[in-house]
């Protein structure tokens, strides 16, 4: 089991809520992750960027563990260094190439981010969002329906 999955599993077992809708979520330690994008769909076989902000009431230095998955299988993982504090939020850009899809297929893609302090292995905040991936032509199997 990889480090990110271990942290996310530990977070779920401990009962810290992960925001399925992609809203801000943090533990009681005053650290939270907020996504700037509020859209929930992407096109397959394209690059996608999400922008997150790490807000902290205290000095925070650590890593953001990022995992993109589809169908229960990870297709991209990243680690980003994070430094945030009361007067400065950290800006994270999470980029990935969404894999191609066959015409007519719509597929959920999940992105999960866990914040881990440099001094420990425990997750202090997490964020998760499900995006729906469409092929280039999402109406390929509904031409008659689109004509009206």
pLDDT of residue 63: 96
CA distances from residue 98 to 1, 45, 84, 105 in whole angstroms, order as listed: 23, 5, 29, 14
pLDDT of residue 104: 82
**Cα separation, 73 vs 13, whole angstroms:** 20
Q: What's this model's pTM, rounded to 2 decimal places?
A: 0.76
Residue pLDDT, tens place only, 36-50: 999 999 999 999 999
List the chain residues with pLDDT less than 70. 1-29, 138, 141-148
CA angle centred on 47, ends 118 and 108, rounded to 5°: 85
Q: Is 137 helix (H, G, I), strand (E, B) or coil?
A: coil
pLDDT of residue 148: 60
pLDDT of residue 21: 37
**Cα separation, 37 vs 142, whole angstroms:** 29
Q: Which helix (H) or strand (E) holds 145?
A: helix 143-147
pLDDT of residue 143: 63
pLDDT of residue 72: 92
Total count of residues recorded for the chain: 148
């Amino acid at each position: 089991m990889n480090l990110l999955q271990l942290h996310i599993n530990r977070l779920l077992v401990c009962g810290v809520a992960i925001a399925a809708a992609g809203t801000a979520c943090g533990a009681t330690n005053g650290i939270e992750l907020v996504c700037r994008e509020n859209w929930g769909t992407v096109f397959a076989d394209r690059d996608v960027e999400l922008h997150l902000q790490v807000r902290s009431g205290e000095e925070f230095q650590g890593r953001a563990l990022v995992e993109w998955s589809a169908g229960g299988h990870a297709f991209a993982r990243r680690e980003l260094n994070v430094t945030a504090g009361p007067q400065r939020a950290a800006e994270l850009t999470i980029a990935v190439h969404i894999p191609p899809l066959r015409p007519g297929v719509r597929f959920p893609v999940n992105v999960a981010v866990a914040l881990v302090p440099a001094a420990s292995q425990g997750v202090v905040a997490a964020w998760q969002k499900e995006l729906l991936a469409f092929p280039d032509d999402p109406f390929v199997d509904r031409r008659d329906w689109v004509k009206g």
